[in-house]
Amino acid sequence: MGQVDPRGLVSAASDGGYAVGAFNMHNPETTEALVLAAEEAASPVFLQVGRAIVPHMGIRKAYEMTKRIAEESEADYVIHLDHGPWDEVFEAIKLGFTSIMYDGAHLPFEENIRTTRKVVEVAHSFGIPVEAELGKIPDADEQVDWQSYYTSVDEAERFVAETGVDWLAISVGIVHGVPLATPQPLDIQRIKEIKAVTGIPLVLHGASGVPEDEIRAATAAGVHKFNADTDLRHAFRSGIESVWSQGDRQLEEAMAEGRRRMVEATVDKMKLYGCAGKADGLVLA
């Protein structure tokens, strides 16, 4: 048990026809919830330092907190930078992250290729795999022209060939957050086509609120890493609110109930993705 090789982790998921869960932490209690869930489910887990926690405590403190809590656990884990901008990616490499996502999806296509290629060159020299993103992902219930948001199959083929990324996050109908209205169905055929031309494991961000049958179909089509955050935050919040609704109670008691509910929600995700029970036999980093 301990820090595992991220490439081997995703490769094992690809070979085994399942996906690995990647979840964001926001404080010590939510970090503990993720590793407790990994222990309970006997599942590997990506512990993601994401866009909410970095402004809250800084990337160094967020990494050090995550590393300390993970090392004290029996979980198999990877500490991963999620949606890292240019400067932050290189800081993460210096700090000791073993997996990074560089997000250049907001850039013009050619610039995304150029900058991603440079990140891959540097990260690979340290043995660190790189996830990148192509396409745009809207916020939940934002009104968008989906055809302009979807990842292009032709662009994905060229992007992967010219950058050498290890995993590609794509846009096929997912959103950040949980939609209140009926969610956009995932474009499963597009996932299959992107997988066919790139040949690498694909990633879906915004997996909260996606129907279970679509999660399974996406996995079968080539997605082997799912990022989910909102569903787990809602579980944590419900625990806090359930304690505070009883009147004046200790904050620690409320956070403990939030942690317990987040563990349950995370284990459910791991079972859905198929990574529950897959911790044994992974190569330590």
How confident is the prediction along the chain (285 residues), in pLDDT tens digits per residue? 799 999 999 999 999 999 999 999 999 999 999 999 999 999 999 999 999 999 999 999 999 999 999 999 999 999 999 999 999 999 999 999 999 999 999 999 999 999 999 999 999 999 999 999 998 776 666 666 667 779 999 999 999 999 999 999 999 987 766 665 666 789 999 999 999 999 999 999 988 889 999 999 999 999 999 999 999 999 999 999 999 999 989 999 999 999 999 999 999 999 999 999 999 877 676
Give pLDDT, residue 245: 95
Report the predicted TM-score, pTM, of the whole model to 2 decimal places.
0.94
- Provide the token pair at 283: 């190569």
Look at residues 172, 41, 163 and name the one whose alpha carbon lies nearest to residue 107. Answer: 163
Q: How far apart are CA 106 and CA 93, in angstroms?
A: 22
CATH of 6-273, one of 3.40.50.2300, 3.40.50.300, 3.40.50.150, 3.20.20.70: 3.20.20.70
Q: How far apart are CA 226 and CA 237, in angstroms?
A: 22
Q: Exactly one of 5, 15, 76, 82 is catalytic; which is it? A: 82
Q: How far apart are CA 279 and CA 101, in angstroms?
A: 23
Look at residues 229, 253, 232, 231 and name the one whose alpha carbon lies nearest to residue 241. Answer: 253
Asked if residues 103 and 85 have their Cβ atoms less than 8 Å apart, the reply is yes
Domain boundaries of the chain, sorted by first residue? 6-273
Active-site residue, 280 included: no
Asked if residues 284 and 4 have their Cβ atoms less than 8 Å apart, the reply is yes
